[in-house]
Amino acid sequence: MFNISSLVQKAQSAAQQLIDPMQGLNLTNSDRNPSKGSLFQNQFRLPSSQTPLFEIPAELTIPPSNVTHGGKDHDRGWHYAGRLHLSESYLCFSTTPTSFAQTASTSTSSAFTGQTHGAGPSGNGFTFPLCAIRRVERLNSQNFQFSLAITTWNGITQEQAKDKEALKDRKDFREQRITIQLAGSRQACERFCDGLKKGLRGAVGSVGKLKKVVAECYSEYLLRPEEKKNAASPDAGLGVIFKYPGDPKKLRDRAKMRLWAEYLRDNGRNATIIRQPTFHKLIRVGLPNRLRGEMWELTSGSLYLRLETPTLYIDTLDKFSGRESLAIDEIEKDLNRSLPEYPGFQSEEGINRLRRVLTAYSWINPDVGYCQAMNIVVAALLIYMSETQAFFLLSALCDRLVPGYYSSTMYGTLLDQKVFESLVEKTMPILWEHLVKSDVQLSVVSLPWFLSLYINSMPLVFAFRVLDVFFVEGPKVLFQVGLAILRINGEELLDAADDGAFISVLKSYFSRLDESAHPKSENPKLRAINRFQELMVVAFKEFSAITHGTIQDLRLKNKDAVLNNIENFAKRTAIRNLGPDSKLLSPDELGALYDRFYGVLYERQQRDHIIQEEQRRRAKASKTRASEAFPEHRDHVEKGRVGLGPSTSLMDYDAFREFLAGVSKWAISDAPPASPRRDPSSDRNAYFGSFRRSDPVSLSPWGTGPEPANHEFMQRLFRKWDVTNSSSLTLQNVVTGLAQIKGGRDIMGTITYFFELYDDDCDGKVDREGILRVSEALLFLSRRGLEGVLSTSDSNTMLNGASEADSAATSSPPIGGTVNERFLGSVSAFIRRCFEYADPDRPGNQDEVAQTKSPGAPFISQEDTPIDESAFTIGDDGDDEEDEEEDDLLAFDGPSTKSNITEKKKLDLGSIPAALGKPPVEDVGKRAVSSKAQSEKANVALDPSNPLHITLPTFRMVVLADELLEQFFESSFPTSLHIIDGLPNTVSQSSSLTTFSSLNFNRPAVIPPPGTQPGLAGAGRGLRGVLDNIVTDASRVAAEVRRRMEEAQRELEKNALPGQRDEDDEDDEDLQGPVKSSNAYSGDAERRSVRSSDRDLLDGADADAGASKEIHSATHPPIDADDEQPGQIGAANNSMQRIVEFES
């Protein structure tokens, strides 16, 4: 996977870069262009709450120490020129020429030249918490306008602070006082000083906290005056009890301790330490045991985390005490296997500390939880530091020093292996060639080095010295040491021809690190140098060119390939692990489904992030440049990509809507897209498939995609799929849900599925309300046309032309023209039949129902023919083309009728006849009479005082009674979910536009060329306004329903007399009304983003008061079982009546 495939990947990514240098890399904005804030935090290892507020060139003067460094050279102290930075609660100085000023470019900010290259406290300087500053005085200075004397709390404990006299009496006490000359313009200096003043004022409250926090640092104890030495020393790790690893004499621990004591006395301790060249030198030679923990804490910056929330560790343990988790189970398994050779971890005390730290961390960072190797690292930390210190240091490790190493996908580990491989290839080409030739996988040996920070690869004493440097200089140290190991063993490794030999060469090298590197040398000094020292020299001299910047660049370069690898693996695994339901879908479908599922989640997270950022930016901008407390400024942690770890694998309802809108056109809202600047040519598939964003900067809540609809049907679907009632779907839920619809099920299965969707209480019955909702759903799903195989299709082109001419002439769809209109008829027939064949809930209705129900048994066989005739003559003499134009017409009819029905249910059937006025009496004759008689019977079923329900067999029968409905369940509905290929652009991006404009302008559907949408907006919006209004305006909806029903009825009856078209003209006029009025709303773009239910509210004022009231009333007003109903069910009556005739 790593050698050969990496070449392939390189080639691939190279190819991608040719096309677009950045596109091939899945880089977030922060990757490419890290914020100045994060660079600042990195350089001074500050918590993510800190942002650079002010900075100014300055000169630092450290007064000569009268204790030790009394040499003549330094009589006037030490001077450093550099930059002074101020953040919310830190004052930092660094000699590294870097600028984090708001006005500076990022390249100046990231152009580090210090030892750590921005990865840590480089150069000379300090990082003072503002609460560690005791006093700031302005001095008179000749050279500089502003000269500040800063006195710190260094060395002053709480008790001492209260007793100032005692302080003065102490002979050995010397205040830490430094001078800083600001070298900016007067204005800049004043601004900086104002900021500092504000910050200091705010920090006063934290002084006590600081003192408590530093009291846990060993240096406080170390530097105490002799008479206080008997006080208990702070916890310096298990080593205090169980001895530190290694021979202290050999380690020259005492000498190191003396040197450090001296340094700390002169330069300040813990929070107030000032870094001078000696500081870095002292670290390179290895820290003394008792100070090791404190210096790790200081250099890694975890001290500042501890200062921020000193009680987080204890609080976390308390909060989760007694709780169980997977991580805890995993931790328990490894507790006995963590540095078992160290006596401290053979004792309960050590094991318990390890357990507590790992457990607490697994709670505060559940994304990481627990990863093997963390046990080893934490065990090592606990030898030198307290539990609390180790807890925060672990946090700094996981978040900043080795990000992604222990995450659930371990992407950081894999990425750094790739980076390491490229570095080996670059720096040791011969060895690399040998590795490739003998097919040895470098990461097999090097992965544990990085993952456990060399702790279980080298003898502990040496691993700790690597850590000493690692914490101050950052992750590049791991690479430098790794490269040095290979370089030193190069010859032997060239002889090793397989993984096994390779491993054993290195194993034996690690076991002899304490031996002399030059045993045969004449020079005793040379002989005294052991192999580890040699390793350090090689690492930091020969590979000094490996900087933090090198690592960052290589990480960026390899990141995408690594994440893709992980994602492919995760995808493979996830798909394989899906239950038996998944077998109903093809592998391609599963793959596409997986991509879509995580694609939507990823998109949404990115969008949320961008929107949040934007809000924060605005908030910040409005706040001027105050140095007051900022809202918490999280580190930019990438989320969402599967490869980075499962930040979420759950899909909530909104994400579900978005998901549906990506696969089915019915799930796209009828509202116009919120963002006018969309590129319809952007390929949704491509970016779903590969998780790539085409344009990340879109503040629409739906990104670049269309706004999804929010129909009750979708809510039901969501609830149905959400089998655990957790208000969120897993991939498994989605796969199962889709498999049930699309999984090659027969029509019966789909019908059953639909029925169950509306059988709320799962009692096998769907009541009146449910029936209406089913029909709404049918219209909702069909409003953009039906897909799949539909029968009765004639030559498309010819009819297409005809309809074109037709619509041009009449400005209306041709008679019975579209499948959609036929579908409308089918649905209305469906409602009627449902009511007709429904079972009463109460025995009181039994008689009437028995009457209507009696023909139920022969229903299907008898009805088949007449239904075909009546329903399909409409289609047959009209056009049945299923091309785009038809889609357009469909889509026009669809939404309007759909919404009619949508609202109708709320209006309730009862209100319709009232307004209906006259039944369709144009066509009289015996048929009408019998029709009326029949409908009266049927209408009994509509009487709300007679609750009724249909059962699954009835439902099935009713569906199968209609060919279109049958086709809908057989193919249209399942195929309307385009898992693999998604939606064609025209549909997903502009369906409603296309359809409406085409109708309006009396021309067939023209797919608007990309980019022309905004131009069409006026007309398009007007038409869409029609739709919106129809949807929202209750009274119009009612009228529309009636009109439609009448029309359907008329058309049915007219079949005998084709060619008569008066009604159609009328129909057209009816349409004009809403079209015109709707234009009034069309300009109001904001309303589009409002959810349709909200829009109801908005429109309530416009709408008929009574109607809108009904819309909002939750309960249904009683349906009048009146005679004026036939308009509603007239179309169906027609066929019904024939049945009756048949019977008699």
Binding site for another protein (CB under 8 A): 1-2, 329-330, 333-334, 336-338, 340-341, 371-373, 375-376, 407-410, 413-414, 437-439, 441, 443-444, 447-448, 451-452, 456, 497-501, 503, 565-566, 569-570, 572-573, 576-577
Chain centroid to Cα 818, Å, comes to: 42
109 versus 443: smaller Cβ distance to another protein: 443
- Sign of the Cα pseudo-torsion (179, 180, 185, 186, in order): negative
147 versus 446: smaller Cβ distance to another protein: 446
CB 444, min distance to another protein, A: 7
| Separation of alpha carbons 1017 and 993, rounded Å | 8
Contacts of 190 (CB under 8 A, 6+ apart): none
Burial label, 701 (beta-carbon count in 10 A; 0-12, 13-18, 19+)? middle
411 versus 471: smaller Cβ distance to another protein: 411
1 versus 166: smaller Cβ distance to another protein: 1
441 versus 682: smaller Cβ distance to another protein: 441
338 versus 994: smaller Cβ distance to another protein: 338
371 versus 538: smaller Cβ distance to another protein: 371
H or E stretch at 994: helix 985-1000
Using an 8 Å Cβ cutoff, are 739 and 721 in contact? no
CB 445, min distance to another protein, A: 9
Using an 8 Å Cβ cutoff, are 667 and 709 in contact? yes
281 versus 572: smaller Cβ distance to another protein: 572
CB 1110, min distance to another protein, A: 54
H or E stretch at 1063: helix 1062-1082
CB 614, min distance to another protein, A: 34
CB 337, min distance to another protein, A: 4
What burial letters (b/e) apply to 1050-1072, b meaning 16+ CB within 10 Å?
bbbbbbeeeeeeebbeebeebbe
CB 521, min distance to another protein, A: 30
| Separation of alpha carbons 87 and 77, rounded Å | 27
Long-range contacts from 425-430, C-beta under 8 angstroms, 24+ separation: 427/483, 427/487, 427/543, 428/483, 428/486, 428/487, 428/490, 430/490, 430/494
In degrees, to the nearest 5, what angle opens at C-alpha 822 toward C-alphas 817 and 825? 135
383 versus 661: smaller Cβ distance to another protein: 383
566 versus 661: smaller Cβ distance to another protein: 566
Per-residue CA distances from 1065 to 129, 725, 1069 (Å) = 81, 51, 6
504 versus 612: smaller Cβ distance to another protein: 504
| Separation of alpha carbons 1046 and 913, rounded Å | 11
368 versus 838: smaller Cβ distance to another protein: 368
Q: What are phi and psi of 68, to 5 degrees?
A: -115, -55
Instruction: Look up residue 685 and give its DSSP letter.
Output: H
Tell me the residue type at 1. M
CB 453, min distance to another protein, A: 11
In 672-814, which ranges are continuous DSSP H helix? 684-689, 712-721, 731-742, 747-758, 768-782, 796-810
CB 330, min distance to another protein, A: 6
CB 247, min distance to another protein, A: 23
CB 729, min distance to another protein, A: 22
Six-digit token string for 1032: 């929202």
Chain centroid to Cα 364, Å, comes to: 19
337 versus 623: smaller Cβ distance to another protein: 337
CB 489, min distance to another protein, A: 17
| Separation of alpha carbons 559 and 873, rounded Å | 62
443 versus 818: smaller Cβ distance to another protein: 443
| Separation of alpha carbons 146 and 66, rounded Å | 26
521 versus 568: smaller Cβ distance to another protein: 568
Six-digit token string for 1026: 């029609």
What count of Cα atoms within 13 Å lies in the side-chain half-sphere of residue 258?
Answer: 4
CB 451, min distance to another protein, A: 6
| Separation of alpha carbons 375 and 387, rounded Å | 13
CB 14, min distance to another protein, A: 23
CB 982, min distance to another protein, A: 26
Closest-CA residue to 952 (of 794, 750, 725): 750
| Separation of alpha carbons 973 and 450, rounded Å | 53
Q: Are strands 90-94 and 765-767 parallel, antiparallel or unpaired?
A: unpaired
535 versus 566: smaller Cβ distance to another protein: 566
Six-digit token string for 967: 């086709």
CB 452, min distance to another protein, A: 6
Q: What are phi and psi of 58, to 5 degrees?
A: -155, 165
447 versus 774: smaller Cβ distance to another protein: 447
CB atoms within 10 A of CB 798: 11
CB 570, min distance to another protein, A: 7
Instruction: Look up residue 516 and give its DSSP letter.
Output: B
Contacts of 720 (CB under 8 A, 6+ apart): 737, 756, 757
CB 410, min distance to another protein, A: 6
443 versus 896: smaller Cβ distance to another protein: 443
Instruction: Look up residue 135 and give its DSSP letter.
Output: E
In degrees, to the nearest 5, what angle opens at C-alpha 297 toward C-alphas 294 and 299? 105
CB 1, min distance to another protein, A: 4
